[in-house]
Structure 1
Amino acid sequence: MVFHLDHMCLGVSDLADGVRRFREETGLGVYEGGVFPEAGLGVWIVPLGGEVYAEIEGVADPGRAARGAGAWISRATGDGRDRWMFWCLRADTLEELQEVAERLGGQVSSIPGRVQPDGTRRVITSAPGIDQSWRHGLPNWYYRADPASNPARGAVTGGRIAQGVTWLEVGGDETVLRKHLGAETFDRLPLRVVPGEPGLHAVAVRTAEGEEVVLRRPPAGPANF
């Protein structure tokens, strides 16, 4: 069973400034993604090509961001540095997602997701929980019943269009990562496993002009919420 790269999250200490700096550094197009109201987070989306995207997340409501994922991002970026918070894979079917949950000792959950700028509330269907994934710098899995709803398909205004992810640099123990992902998925993903802190360290994408853009940031460390 082979799974696909889905998305990754870049945490920033100031959302507007973080988006501005990202655009200046990479030249890639972005679009506004809305908010995670319960976490007090705002989101911008970066389509990366090949049904993959990145989220840029930062605090939009400090009162609500005092706990949960909002607090985690606040702590991780408290020194003013952007951090890769987590990365995620995608299952093609709900049955595949259930198999992942059973294999890793978690369960499939469906919870309210972000509220888009048009007011639409998305639903997140994922597995396993953060105790089996983000807390160890490992990915979790998502499933979308409607592939057309993939944020990677959103339209950007201005900027270069990415044509796909060429490689990911991930820290940690290769044996642990292979067991978590499954051997087939591990061998198919463009991973570069390096010693050091578990989690995502860098993402490389290619542009329509054939240029490779490398997005290197420190990992946030274990999810502690």
Structure 2
Amino acid sequence: MRLDHVSYAVGRNSFVDTVQRLGSALGAAFMDGGVHPRFGTRNFVLPLAGGTYVEVVTTLDHPAADRAPFGRAVAKRAEEGGGWLGWVVSVDDIGPVETRLGRPAAEGHRVRPDGFDLRWKQLGLLELMEDPQLPYFLQWLVEPAEIPSAQPRTTTRITGLTIAGDSKVISDFLGEPADHPLDQTDVTWADDEEPGLVAVAFETARGPVTVE
């Protein structure tokens, strides 16, 4: 199973500063990703080498932010001081995940500043809100050339995730072996932290960088 992206959630007041800080640390500027009208959120994204990207996301002053699971998850993380919201795995067909979790995926979209309507299906936000160590699943509904990671803006790549939690729980949730839950991305388990994505390791042109 492949890592699609990692999400960093912050409050509206610190959104711009966080985008600039992370861009400086990773050696490239983020790009405006647009608004998620169904979720009441907006993001900036940084496409990386290796087929992944980083998302910095915040809520909008919009009723959807209080209703949609993603909007609520972003708001909750921001209220806790901000930081890594979670990690997202990409699947070619979300149908088997729907069967396993017993409910349909939600459709999402955001209109990029260039006018393109980026669409996908996602599933697992409710589990993430209950157990922050878990990822959620995403199936893109656009051509591969249009997904955010298709055109990297930097040679920086994600090399590993540090996750606080139970490797067996995550393994069962993903249906992947606990010692190798992701292709091309190392996972380190931290037992002495609150459950969730604790840190992301990057390889940049200036050397290794870890963002906690």
TM-score calculated relative to the size of structure 2: 0.82
Equivalence map 1:165-204=2 (5 Å): 165-184=158-177, 187=180, 189=182, 190-195=186-191, 196-204=193-201
Matched residue count? 203
Greater mean deviation of Cα atoms: 35-44 or 65-74: 65-74
Matches within 5 A, 1:198-217: 198-207=195-204, 209=205, 211-216=207-212
Q: Which amino acid aligns with 2:108?
A: P
Instruction: Name the aligned partner's letter for residue 201 of structure 1.
Output: V
Once the two structures are TM-superposed, the CA of residue 63 in structure 1 deviates from its matched residue by 5.7
Question: Residue type matched to 1:164 in 2?
Answer: R
The reply on whether 1:131 has 2:118 as its aligned counterpart is no
- Contiguous gaps of at least 5 residues in structure 1: 217-225
Query: Within 5 A, what are the aligned runs for 1:69-84?
Result: 69-78=70-79, 81-84=81-84
Q: 2:145 aligns with which of 119, 144, 148?
A: 148
CA RMSD of aligned residues (A): 2.4
- State the match for 1:220 in structure 2: none
Residues 51/185 of structure 1: CA separation in 2 closer, same or farther (3 Å cut):
farther
CA contact (8 A) 2:26 2:156 kept: no
Verify the 8 A CA contact 1:112 1:121 in the aligned structure 2. Answer: no
2:97 is the alignment partner of 1:100: yes
Instruction: Could you tell me which runs of 5 or more consecutive residues in structure 2 were left unpaired when the two chains were aligned.
Output: none
Note if contact 2:36-2:42 (Cα within 8 Å) is conserved in structure 1: yes
* Structure 2 contact 31–46 (Cα < 8 Å) conserved: yes
Tell me if the contact between 1:205 and 1:212 (Cα under 8 Å) persists in the aligned partners: yes
Shift of the alpha carbon at 1:12?
Answer: 1.3
Identity of aligned residues (%): 27
1:164/1:205 contact within 8 Å kept: yes
